[in-house]
Amino acid sequence: MTELRITVLGGTGFVGRALVKRLAEAGHQITLLSRNLGPHYDRLVPPNVRLRELDVYDEGKLQSAFVGNDAVINLVGILNEAGDSGRGFQRAHVDLSKRVIAACQATGVKRLLQMSSLNAGRGSSHYLKSRGDAEAAVKASGLQWTIFEPSVIFGVGDGLFTRFGQLLKRLPVVPLARARCKFAPVYIGDVVEAFVRSLDDKRTIGEVYELYGPEVYSLAQIVRLSAKQMGLTRFVLPLPDVIGRVQGLVCDFVPGKPFSSDNYRSLLLDSVGGIDGLHRLGIEPTRVSEVLPDILGHGEDRQARLDRYRAMR
């Protein structure tokens, strides 16, 4: 692979940390941009990654950061906003993407890899609408773009199994809105591989890649699978839609927003994909069962040992 100079936005998040590490290991020159890197963040990234703390919404500063680069990767995304107006999603997904595009055009950076989401532009959620609007801006940019649309992403420290694992430790009963909503979870390592393979492959220019795994689970099945892996007995309580909507409204005002009205609207659509982007890129998908013990531990194995011990008494 050709050594490239790459600027990454959103590189401090779950996907970003894994991707920056992989790109640095491949010998690329990486500049990571963030509005707030936090204290000692330099200790968390490879030594050959350059950190720049700046206002990513300032086009002039973006241009100064992009000068001399071969590619830009935009991973910025939020799952919730303050309130429920859509303005937070518009700013994070659409407005920032347009600024990134303008800075690329002004500095002659032709290659742009853009993170999006399955179902972008579909449904009634602000999240999905803003993802679709951002995609439209990228496609109209005249840049050499590639867009990635993952389903929910899993891996150690994720916002899926890890999040439910933390919840299951506290709650004997898990009330669940849209419990039948289906997902095809995709492994973070496969998502990173998709970005890496596409980076300097001209065949991926102008392409949109749906990234999803080989297994389809309902939300309820994901929770039950997590509990089983942890060796816990928990009851999943599927909520009728009318109560699920109320749960979203109530959680809109809960600090940290564990759930929201917009999350509920996103769950009205299954996140399972239709055209296998991993297969198109020659990537063998990773199954949940291969990684789940690393995410949640070996609780099931401990429980089995306890059961055997009790049977011997």
Order the strands of the 49-53 sheet from edge to edge: 49-53, 29-34, 5-9, 71-74, 111-115, 144-150, 207-211
How many helical (H) and strand (E) elements, i.e. helices and strands, does the chain have?
13, 13
* pLDDT for 204 beyond 70: yes
Number of domains in the chain: 1
- Residue 75: name the closest of 112, 43, 39 by CA: 112
Q: Give the confidence band of 36 by pLDDT, cuts at 50, 70, 90.
A: confident
Range of the domain at 66: 5-156+185-214+273-285
| pLDDT above 90 coverage of the chain, percent | 87
Instruction: Return d(Cα 68, Cα 66) in angstroms, integer.
Output: 6
Contacts (Cβ under 8 Å, ≥6 apart) of 153 = 14, 15, 159, 160, 185, 186, 187, 188, 191
Does 278 reside within a domain?
Answer: yes
DSSP secondary structure code for residue 276 in this structure: B
Does 238 reside within a domain?
Answer: no
Does 103 reside within a domain?
Answer: yes
Q: What local confidence, expressed as pLDDT, does residue 312 receive?
A: 45
DSSP secondary structure code for residue 285 in this structure: P
Cα 74–chain centre separation: 12
Does 232 reside within a domain?
Answer: no
Phi and psi torsions of 145, nearest 5°: -100, 155
Question: What tokens were used for 102?
Answer: 């303008």
Q: What residue type is 238 in one-letter code?
A: P
pLDDT in tens, 98-116: 999 999 999 999 999 999 9
Does 231 reside within a domain?
Answer: no
183 in Cβ contact with 157 (< 8 Å): no
Question: What tokens were used for 62?
Answer: 């973006």
DSSP β-bridge partners for residue 217 = 183
pLDDT in tens, 142-185: 999 999 999 999 999 999 999 999 999 999 999 999 999 999 99
CA dihedral 192, 196, 202, 207 (to 10 degrees): 10
62 in Cβ contact with 99 (< 8 Å): yes
Does 81 reside within a domain?
Answer: yes
Contacts (Cβ under 8 Å, ≥6 apart) of 169 = 230, 232
Q: What local confidence, expressed as pLDDT, does residue 42 receive?
A: 63
Does 33 reside within a domain?
Answer: yes
- Other CB atoms within 10 A of residue 307 CB: 11
pLDDT in tens, 230-282: 999 999 999 999 999 999 999 998 888 889 999 999 999 999 999 999 999 99
Q: What local confidence, expressed as pLDDT, does residue 102 receive?
A: 98
Instruction: Return d(Cα 124, Cα 100) in angstroms, integer.
Output: 26
DSSP β-bridge partners for residue 5 = 29
Question: What tokens were used for 250?
Answer: 């109530």
Does 242 reside within a domain?
Answer: no
Q: What is the CATH number of the domain that holds 9?
A: 3.40.50.720
Q: Give the confidence band of 1 by pLDDT, cuts at 50, 70, 90.
A: low
The continuous run of DSSP H or E covering 127 comes out as: helix 126-139
- Residue 213: name the closest of 160, 163, 164, 276 by CA: 276
